[in-house]
Amino acid sequence: MDLQRLTRKEEYVWQIEPHGQMRVPAVLFADESLVRDMDDKVYEQICNVAMLPGIVQAAYAMPDAHWGYGFPIGGVAAFDPEQGGVVSGGGVGFDISCGVRTLLTGLQYPAIEANKTRLADALFHRIPAGLGSTGQIHLNDAGMDAMLIGGADWAVEQGFGWQTDLARIEEQGRMPGADPDKVSAFAKKRQRNEMGTLGSGNHYLEVQRVSHIYHPSAARVFGLREDDVVVSIHCGSRGLGHQIGTEFLREMALGAAGQGISLPDRELACAPINSPTGQDYLGAMRAGINCALANRQIITHLTREVFAEVLPQAELQLLYDVSHNTCKEEHHRVEGKDRRLFVHRKGATRAFGPDHPDLPVELQPVGQPVIIGGSMGTASYILAGTKQSEQRAWSSACHGAGRAMSRHQAKRQWQGRSLVDELAERGILIRSPSMRGVAEEAPGAYKDVSAVVEVADQAGLAYKVARLEPVVCIKG
């Protein structure tokens, strides 16, 4: 990206001044190297977001920002329904509520080292992964609707997990306002056999070792110690979320002109929040959020079963579950006034700071856990939200490393089998049904996650708590 087109406001904050049809500035959080490496499409897309009706304050791009559908991945924007604000399917993404949860095993790494291979094989055998993967749960119509309303709460009622898990999940495991009637029969059909599955792409289940503690007091609250073993699960709403996105983006694009909306890009198709289409999408999207929360809850249950067989001394308490493809109704202070806003986070993580009332009481002293997933074979991080982030970017942070090259480019440069062998030499066991998928997710195809996390920390979006190194990775 050409730095001449940006104004450097702070060391890690860059601004694109309003021009053309932009209603507000666009703000990028990055160091100079990350900005230079961002493709021009990020510039174009974040400026387009700033043109949408009812946008408040600014359009934001996180340090892992890269080209996406409509919004850049790593894009954040808030809209005021009382000022004609819109909801955009491209601002949420196709994998609705894709997110990460991290489980504490209570074990130190030496306790699992001898069982690493057995653990990798058992997890791969038990948890379906890959394109079109299906599980052992088959939902009828009534069961599907109950799941879409109940989310992780429904999953726990079905015996998939513990009641105590719910307090450590966004929205306590159940997104209010979900409306299964707004989800098409075809979307439900696509999901009927996919509950409890990882899917493909950048989704994974990873056994990790805590390699470094940056903030000892926050780590104690989170239950993290150096050399601890944790498990992180990254997946979303599978075929149902993709179908919801596909159908509503088409409807929004066709109806935009009739709503008086001039779209800078068809991929930013949107509808006024208070319109019938806007309300229908929110009902369907919230059902998609519940689908993802239920999916991660079921996978958690399967993971616990595997550990009970291989390492029965493990506990697997849930640290936190947070999504990064959502639109949430939230209250934020804007120029001294409380405003009801609809915050889009596309490839960006909610990062509430200390004392936020929506957090469990025991987490309020340090802020919300912010889980930043690495790419296969690289580190992941656990951060915590800051009060400063409320004003900086609607309490938002990055969600991962962000791609540096396309999947097609990655396949030309790497071979899956060679990557698996190279990572095994480093002590990282990869299990995947697709060597092509492994090549697409090569560590070198992503930005440096440590550089991305450092910017999030230095810019005040979230502060570093712990670094996690991969031990076993089950890839879709």
Active site residues: 399
| Strands (E) located in 288-364 | 317-323, 325-334, 337-346, 349-350
- The answer to whether 464 and 385 have CB atoms below 8 angstroms apart is no
Distances (CA, A) of 288 to 3, 207, 343: 38, 27, 16
In whole angstroms, give the CA distance from residue 92 to residue 293. 16
Where does 214-266 show beta strands of DSSP type E? Answer: 228-235
431: its two tokens: 């299990």
Report which DSSP code applies to 72.
Answer: P
Q: Which helix (H) or strand (E) holds 239?
A: helix 238-255
| CA–CA separation, 419 and 415 (whole Å) | 6
The closest of 135, 201, 116, 118 to 475, measured between CA atoms, is 201
Output the CA angle 188-281-341, nearest 5 degrees: 140
Residue indicated by tokens 């309303």:
149
Query: Which DSSP state fits 89?
Result: G
Task: Identify each DSSP E strand in 17-85 by its residue range.
Answer: 26-29, 59-66, 73-79
| Residue 28: both structure tokens together | 């990028």
